[in-house]
A = this chain, B = another copy of it.
Amino acid sequence: MASPPTSTYQYFLVTYPAPYVAHVQINRPEKLNAFFEAMWLEFRRIFDTLSHAPDVRSIILSGAGDRAFSSGLDVEAAAQEGILTVTEPDARTTDVARRAQAIKRHVEEFQACISSVEKCEKPVICVLHGYSLGLSLDISTCADIRICTSDVQMAVKEVDIGLAADIGTLSRLPKVVGSFSWVKDVCLSARVFGADEALRVGFVSHVESTKESALGRALVMAKLLAEKSPVAVQGTKELLNHARDNRLADSLRYTGVWNSAAIQTKDVRDAILSGLQKRKPTFEKL
């Protein structure tokens, strides 16, 4: 395989554990992988790069260290400066409408950074372990497939710092889980929930006993996806995300137009012939 993107990052560790597979680790374990602004800006750069990297076909996202996927927003940092600052606002920004504009811009940029996981053309498998609080939910609801360890402690924590979660959890959770009663329960109460509950309501699709085995399972899945036609895999992600947000007739129409180009790929012929001939196909980069 040709060399995948090798830039190093400040707050994340990006490795390539198998051909066409990238592994992104949130890498601030000494602070339970808590996020501050420079981190989510870098986070977006990584996923935007992977989205277009021809050497990457599937991505694993996890948190470095034993204790946490992420404890969420670094509240202490946020309390020092920015829109959640607990110090008195200065005179320049005391007009409510002007502060509202600054907040809106900030929230929209923050949302866009986290949404880069969803916009990424390649499937993203998220492995949640340990503390997976607040922003962890915003991030993981953007991923395509969620796996967790049996010790995971998850919570939509924002209510406990006086605000409605605004980086995506409240928008996406009702669409990735089928029980609206459960969604409201955990979002309104900010209570911790664990692996069993997450599996029962369908928030995760697999539970593994340890972080190691969870990463192992994610790697098996990521390799499986990376061996398939990238035209088919990436088209499937696109069409499923489109379906979630659109009505049936629109979704079917969009699908027809999408495949009017995609089906012309030679991957179809290669895959069918390989199937008929019982051999394993390989596919050109995309």
Q: With an 8 A cutoff between CB atoms, is A270 at the interface?
A: yes
Q: With an 8 A cutoff between CB atoms, is A271 at the interface?
A: yes
A188 to B84, CA, bound (A): 33
Given that A179-B176, A256-B107, A266-B95 are known contacts, is A272 also in contact with B240, CB under 8 Å in the complex? Answer: no
Q: What is the number of residues of chain A that contact chain B, defined by CB distance less than 8 Å?
A: 115
**Is the beta-carbon distance between B161 and A272 smaller than 8 angstroms?**
yes
**Is the beta-carbon distance between A259 and B163 smaller than 8 angstroms?**
yes
A231 to B191, CA, bound (A): 18
**Is the beta-carbon distance between A177 and B179 smaller than 8 angstroms?**
yes
Residue of B nearest to A126 (CB): B181
**Is the beta-carbon distance between A179 and B202 smaller than 8 angstroms?**
yes
- Among A5-13, A38-46, A241-249, the stretch that binds chain B is A241-249
Q: With an 8 A cutoff between CB atoms, is A36 at the interface?
A: no
Given that A166-B259, A286-B101 are known contacts, is A204 also in contact with B181, CB under 8 Å in the complex? Answer: yes
Residue of B nearest to A112 (CB): B252
Copies, count: 6
**Is the beta-carbon distance between B286 and A189 smaller than 8 angstroms?**
no
Residue of B nearest to A204 (CB): B181
Q: With an 8 A cutoff between CB atoms, is A3 at the interface?
A: no
Q: With an 8 A cutoff between CB atoms, is A225 at the interface?
A: yes
A185 to B225, CA, bound (A): 10
| Pairs across A and B, CB under 8 Å, 17 listed | A52-B105, A75-B276, A96-B265, A97-B265, A99-B260, A103-B263, A104-B257, A111-B252, A123-B188, A144-B188, A162-B283, A163-B259, A180-B202, A181-B203, A187-B240, A189-B221, A245-B249
Residues of A that sit less than 8 Å from B by CB:
52, 75-76, 78-79, 83-84, 86, 95-101, 103-105, 107-108, 111, 115, 123, 144-146, 158-166, 168, 170-185, 187-191, 201-206, 221, 224-225, 228-229, 231-240, 243-273, 275-276, 281, 283-284, 286
